[in-house]
Structure formats: C-alpha cells, structure tokens
Amino acid sequence: MYTKQFSIFIIAIISTLLLAIILEEWKLYLVVIILISELFFSMINIPENIDISANIEINGERFYINDEAAIKVLVHNKGDTVFAKILLNIPSNVLAKDPHGLITILKRNELRKFDIRIKFIERGKYEIGPVNIIVQDILGTIIKVISIPIIKKVTVFPLIRSYGILDLEARRTGPWPGSIISKRLGTSMEFHALKDYITGDDVRKINWKASARFRRLISNEYESENVTDSIIVIDANNLTSKTEYEKRTLEACVSGAAALSYELLAQGNRVGLICLGGMRNWIKPGFGKRQLLKILYMLAEVKPGKELPADQVLLLLTPYMIKSGSKIFFISPLMDESIIGAVEDLIREGYSVIVIFALCDSSDLSIEILNLQRNIIKHNLLQISNVVTWDCETNIIKALMMNTKLSRRRYHVQH
C-alpha cells in the first residue's frame, strides 16, 4: 500500500525534473537522481518473508473506575528483519500512556515485549485489541498492515462507596438470622417487652429491677433479627447521554445501586436487581459474593433510554422474583412519570417500596426548570410511598438512615 509520503516523493521528483528542463540546470538533474535512488532503495528494503505473531496479557479481567491495568504486548518475528510500527487498539474512553503505538526494528526470530499502562475512567465492558503491525520502508512510502485478531475482554465496575450500617425494618423476613428487625421474637439486642419468667427461659434475660418491683421473676423479650428479600430498581428511563448533568446523574444512580447492594448482601440478605432504560435486564435475588459479582456485571452495562414504561416492566417481573411484603428500593432521577403508576401497583400488591430520588446539584437554569417537573412527581409519590431525597454526593446509606420514617435505631457512621 502506497502512502502519502510516496505521493510527495513522486510530486517532488516530477516538479524538480520539470524545473531542471525549464531552467536547464544540471544540478537539478542530480537532485532528481538522488530522490529516485532514495525512493528505489527504500522500496526494495521491504522484506518479502513477513511472518509476525503477537499476544496480549492483562493483569486481570475485572476492574473498578480509576483502576490502572498493566498490559504486555508480546511480538514474535519469525520472518525477515522488518521496520515496524506496533499499534494496540484501545477504546477511546480509556487513558493510555502510549496510545500512538511503538516504532521499532524487529530482527529475525526476535521476541519483543512492550509494557503499556492504561487507566479506566468509565464503567462498562471493553475490548482490548486487536494488535495491528504496520511494516514499512525507512521513508514510509510503502506499508503493509498485518492485523492479528487477539482481543481481551475486561469489565469495569462502578465504584462502591459505603461508610455506614444499613438498619431497616421489613414486613417479611426469612428464617435465617440477619440484621433486619422482624416482628418475631428472638435473641437480638432490640428490647420488645417484659414477660413472666417461665422455667426454661434464659437466666441471663431476667430483669432483676422489674422482678424486685413486681415481686416475681420477670424476664425481657427481644425482637428477632433476620434476613429479608429485596429488589433494587435502577431507573434510567428518559435519561440521555447528551448533557454532562444527565451523565453524572446516571453514574450516581449506578454507584448508589452498587453501594446499596453491597450493604444488603453484607448483612446476609437476598438481593436482586432490575435495570430500566436503554438496557432492560434483571437478576433474581440471591446471597453472597457471587450475587454481588452478578449485580456489578449488570451495573457496568446500564445505559440511558426508554424501552418500556416502568409500571409495565415491574408489574410483570416483581411477582416472579420476590414475594409480597419484601422490600423494593427504587433509585430514580424521577425523569419518567410512569414511576408513579409503578409504585402504586407495587404497594397495591403488598410490597414495601422506598423511592430514592437522585438529585444532583446544578446551577444551570434548564436544570432548575427540570427540577420543578421532578418535584411534581416527587410530591405525587409522597402521597403513596416513602421518598428519600439523595443529593448524589453523600453516601446513599446515610441518606436512607437519616430518614426517621425508615430507621428504628440511631444511624452510626464508620470512620
């Protein structure tokens, strides 16, 4: 393949030759000969036996935003010595130390290793590769491009920012011990009532002051702490990627969903996820680290948009995923009015719904006008459900616990 440099050389040779003919200057003929000689010797230096292979090694498959990855590009030249430029295809929204490639001379049977460090600044799924090797002559007039289809896939998760203990009530709890206050009597530290001591009761639960006052043995009863099922709904309906404010709002919702999932799972609860917007997907409730990993994979792919109204999606999915009485956390910027019907339907079915209104700060006048519309949706939601306003900069767990309607105990921040 001929390059622009080849065209420039040809134009220079023809121009110099014409000028030499017009001016009848023998020195210009000498310049023409030199240019032709350089072009000829440069072109014949491209080897015919080109046999190059490559491989990519990355120090992981899963990363978080702002993480750095170390990439090793291994190139093996099995053919003749070549002058080559090695390019690793890296997505545009990834910061690379050397995004323009590496120029080097590869000798016959030489194995070279190149180290490249990249930084992920956005969540998502990325493909690193392929490796393109451009073999060219010294002057760069002719090139041969060899594309080696080696692709490494990595996933970048949203940041999990969690600094508190989530402490909520639930209408429905499972039989397993956990940290959610239930209506059953149990062995937690939360006092419930006094009762007469019965033979067989734990002696440590005897309330000696009450026993002295009533002149008979009185023991304490405590509430039970169990686990609950919950669904986190992340609402990206009617959001776009056109403005920086909407991008920031979406990323805040995704990061908040990751933090809330982490806290609920860390306390032993079963957690599921429903994503609304440009990518509609869901995960049934589950326990443990594997479930968190599934949730993070899905959150990495959340996109803005609107395929179906929220009420249509949730009315079909929710009964299939969890039973009535379970908790549903609705993280939303309140851009879509269908959330009102969705919350009404869920409450009518017996679910406990908490709407988390993601409200990011902005001094833009158009955003202030938009906030008026969102506050109307919030006002309508307050008539039927608990609504927590979250400013996106603080921790979402703290925003939940600062709401006195939701928390039974004093919120404690871990420093």
SS3 19: helix
Mention every residue, 6+ apart, whose C-beta is less than 8 A from residue 384.
Answer: 340, 343, 344, 347
How would you class 259 by CB atoms within 10 Å of its CB: exposed for 0-12, middle for 13-18, buried for 19 or more? buried
Rounded alpha-carbon distances, angstroms, from residue 194 to 44, 220, 222, 228, 241: 99, 5, 9, 27, 58
pLDDT score recorded for residue 104: 81
Pair of tokens at residue 150? 């080696």
Strands 327-332 and 229-235: parallel
Contact by Cβ (8 Å): 156, 299? no
Measuring CA to CA, which residue among 76, 84, 9, 11 is closest to residue 45? 84
Mention every residue, 6+ apart, whose C-beta is less than 8 A from residue 388.
Answer: 354, 355, 356, 357, 399, 400, 403, 406
d(CA 297, CA 295) in angstroms, rounded, equals 5
* Model confidence, pTM: 0.74
Q: 129's torsion region: left (phi>0), alpha (psi -120 to 50) or beta?
A: left
Q: What is the DSSP letter of 138?
A: T
Q: What residue spans define the domains of the chain?
A: 4-43, 52-157, 177-226, 229-401
Q: Which amino acid is at 340?
A: I
d(CA 163, CA 343) in angstroms, rounded, equals 28
Sheet holding 281-286, edge to edge: 281-286, 270-276, 229-235, 327-332, 352-358, 386-390
Domain 52-157 carries which CATH code? 2.60.40.10
Q: Which residue has the tokens 């995704």?
A: 254
Sheet holding 110-120, edge to edge: 52-58, 68-77, 110-120, 94-96
Q: Which amino acid is at 30?
A: L
Q: Which amino acid is at 194?
A: L
pLDDT score recorded for residue 139: 67
Number of Cβ within 10 Å of residue 328's Cβ equals 25
pLDDT score recorded for residue 167: 66
Check whether the bond before 130 is cis (ω within 30° of 0).
Answer: yes
Contact by Cβ (8 Å): 332, 360? no
310-321 vs 338-348: helix crossing angle, rounded to 10: 30
Rounded alpha-carbon distances, angstroms, from residue 209 to 29, 216, 222, 232, 398: 117, 10, 17, 45, 37
Task: Write down the CATH superfamily of domain 229-401.
Answer: von Willebrand factor, type A domain (3.40.50.410)
Mean pLDDT, consecutive 10-residue stretches, the chain (415 aa), reads 70 82 79 76 71 90 92 89 85 77 82 89 91 77 82 92 64 47 48 69 79 82 66 88 86 91 86 88 88 93 83 82 86 88 89 89 77 89 90 83 56 34
Cα angle, residue 326 at apex, residues 325 and 328 outer, rounded to 5°: 125
d(CA 19, CA 364) in angstroms, rounded, equals 63
Number of Cβ within 10 Å of residue 152's Cβ equals 16
C-alpha of 43 from chain center: 49
pLDDT score recorded for residue 409: 43
Q: Which H or E run contains 388?
A: strand 386-390
